[in-house]
Amino acid sequence: MNFDHSEERRMLADSLNRFISEQYTIDERHRINASEHGISSALWQQLADLGTMAALFREEEGGLGGSGFDIAVIFEALGRGLVLEPVLGSAVLAGSAIALVGNDAQRQWLEKIIDGSSIAAFAHEEPHAHHDLTRVETTAKPEQEGWRLQGAKAMVMYGGIADVFIVSARTQGSTSDEHGISLFVLPANTPGVSVHAIGLVDGGRAAELRLDDVWVGKEPLLGSVDQAYPIIEHVTARGILALCAEALGAMEVCKAATLDYLQTRKQFGVPIGQFQALQHRMADVLLEIEQARSAVINAAAAMEMDRLTRECAVSAAKFTIGRIGTLVSEESIQLHGGIGMTWELPLSHYAKRLIMIDHQLGDEDTHLQRYIALKKQIKDTADVD
């Protein structure tokens, strides 16, 4: 299989990497992080103008790409710059759900997501779900030619500034059934929708979303009633790939910074990189990062394959990234010594982001168990055939 990027994808990657290196310095990130909403509207619009969001969607959806490798290229660049802007939540998660099953009216939101004029948020995770995609306690009951929604959502990425939410709710069945989950498109100003924004340890923002007797008509239903789980799973797979690629970009920066430190920091009159024990530790880091890259490539290629192959690949990648991200963070900090965790050194912020990525959309343990279960499904299917 040929993994070489197309000319268009390489051009986008070059433009995005150049823009981030020039405009998104660590000092600029600190300034954005300290602002009220935690993003820069100007930089967000510039990202859209570069085609960042458009590259995440197919041409028939109004985009320029939409493949797994498009996601990987874009998010590796965003990871290198520790970009705070909500490309993941708005375009990859919420936007993909609309692109997959949205009607003509709902796709008007997709146009605004792509051009950067609106921010969307994907509200699926719940306080007691523990990364279980099927566990939905929020309810939507038919009432007066519409729906009455009640419940709460947790860790809605950049929900505090979202213009519209894609909300999952149970319309049938028990709490953990795959069947019986539906999706709804709810503008942020819908009566009964309340948002409590919170800051995260890595500088990002999230929100808790409450739905208190929210009544809507039939129009907000996204896709078919009771049939949203495959959409949620597909969208989440794209999100996991994006996180893994972002982590890979962050790891590359940690690697480069640590190598530079080992070559310039001196003890006993020689660079500490000449000490064999440190060379061995750094060699392990380099090998593990290449393993992470292979996992991302495998997940990107699997986006166009059947469900079990896709889900196995993304769970394998997320487990691998969680393990290696922790290793790279710890080793980079320890090889830097005490300076490694200071606020002034960018490395500490990359380390925090790598640790946070492990806990988004399912942590290392969750995806190891899921990978084992999916492999068993594949084996059982093969035995039956």
* Residue % of the chain over a pLDDT of 70: 98
380 confidence band (pLDDT: 50, 70, 90):
confident
Query: Is residue 307 pLDDT above 70, yes or no?
Result: yes
pLDDT of the residue at 338? 82
The pLDDT of 167-181, averaged and rounded, is 95
45 within some domain: yes
The domain boundary, picked from 180, 199, 226, lies at: 226
The pLDDT of 181-185, averaged and rounded, is 98
The pLDDT of 275-296, averaged and rounded, is 95
Q: Are residues 256 and 308 in the same domain?
A: yes
CATH number of residue 67's parent domain = 1.10.540.10
312 within 8 A of 378, measured Cβ to Cβ: yes
Least reliable range by pLDDT among 7-21, 38-52, 243-257, 290-304: 7-21
The type of residue at 177 is: D
Q: Are residues 267 and 251 in the same domain?
A: yes
pLDDT of the residue at 3? 58
Q: Are residues 246 and 144 in the same domain?
A: no
2 within some domain: no
pLDDT of the residue at 272? 86
196 within some domain: yes
pLDDT tens string 40-59: 999 999 999 999 999 999 99
Least reliable range by pLDDT among 111-115, 260-264, 311-315, 323-327: 260-264
Q: Which long-range contacts (C-beta less than 8 Å, at least 24 apart) are formed by 355-360?
A: 355/201, 355/202, 355/325, 355/326, 355/329, 356/200, 356/201, 356/202, 356/204, 357/243, 357/244, 357/246, 357/247, 357/250, 357/321, 357/322, 357/325, 358/321, 358/322, 358/325, 358/326, 360/155, 360/243
Query: How many structural domains is the chain composed of?
Result: 3
Q: Are residues 113 and 162 in the same domain?
A: no
Q: Are residues 379 and 235 in the same domain?
A: yes
Q: Which residues of 57-94 are buried (b: 16+ CB within 10 A; e: fewer)?
A: beeebbbbbbbbbbbbbbbbbbbbbbbbbbbbbbbbbb
8 confidence band (pLDDT: 50, 70, 90):
confident
pLDDT of the residue at 2? 56
Helix (H) or strand (E) holding 301: helix 276-302
Residue 232 to residue 315: CA distance in whole angstroms: 15
CATH number of residue 218's parent domain = 2.40.110.10
Q: Are residues 196 and 338 in the same domain?
A: no
pLDDT tens string 98-116: 999 999 999 999 999 999 9
CATH number of residue 303's parent domain = 1.20.140.10
The pLDDT of 367-375, averaged and rounded, is 95
126 confidence band (pLDDT: 50, 70, 90):
very high
Mean pLDDT of the chain: 94
3 state SS of 264: helix
User: Which residue range is the domain that position 134 belongs to?
Assistant: 121-226
The domain boundary, picked from 226, 248, 266, lies at: 226
pLDDT of the residue at 383? 72
Q: Are residues 125 and 250 in the same domain?
A: no
Q: Are residues 222 and 287 in the same domain?
A: no
The domain boundary, picked from 226, 242, 264, lies at: 226
Query: Is residue 281 pLDDT above 80, yes or no?
Result: yes
pLDDT tens string 321-362: 999 999 999 999 999 988 888 889 999 999 999 999 999 999
327 within some domain: yes
The pLDDT of 222-251, averaged and rounded, is 98
364 within some domain: yes
Q: Are residues 188 and 222 in the same domain?
A: yes
Query: Is residue 167 pLDDT above 60, yes or no?
Result: yes
34 within some domain: yes
Of 165, 170, 166, 177, the C-alpha closest to 137 is: 170
CB atoms near residue 173 (< 10 Å): 14
56 within 8 A of 95, measured Cβ to Cβ: yes
Q: Report the DSSP beta bridge partners of residue 164.
A: 120, 187
60 confidence band (pLDDT: 50, 70, 90):
very high
Query: Is residue 365 pLDDT above 90, yes or no?
Result: yes
Q: Are residues 249 and 220 in the same domain?
A: no
Residue 138 to residue 88: CA distance in whole angstroms: 23
Q: Are residues 138 and 106 in the same domain?
A: no
pLDDT tens string 10-45: 888 899 999 999 999 999 999 999 999 999 999 999
pLDDT of the residue at 385? 61
CB atoms near residue 42 (< 10 Å): 9
223 confidence band (pLDDT: 50, 70, 90):
very high
- Say if strands 205-217 and 270-271 run parallel, antiparallel, or are unpaired: unpaired
In order, the DSSP letters of 201-261 are TTS-EEEEEEEEEEEEESTTEESSTTB-HHHHHHHHHHHHHHHHHHHHHHHHHHHHHHHHH
1 within some domain: no
1 confidence band (pLDDT: 50, 70, 90):
low
273 confidence band (pLDDT: 50, 70, 90):
confident
Q: Are residues 294 and 368 in the same domain?
A: yes
102 within some domain: yes
